[in-house]
Structure 1
């Protein structure tokens, strides 16, 4: 269960970092912090 959650979080982090490359200037560490809130970026 925990491993599944971690892999899903990692996939979301990678997806968000790819999505936000052209839009915002947030560093990747903030993508990790906001991994649970993919639609809450300003």
Structure 2
């Protein structure tokens, strides 16, 4: 397997879920909520 084949597979694996998530409608009020506090 060449480097370009690995790159193409990796790009495809990451792109398809991102496209699916980008088409999901946002929940109302998302931008008005404060950021979540995570323990450091």
Instruction: Give the TM-score, by structure 1 length.
Output: 0.45
Answer with 1 or 2: which has the greater Rg: 2
The higher relative CO (CA closer than 8 Å, separation ≥ 6) is in 1
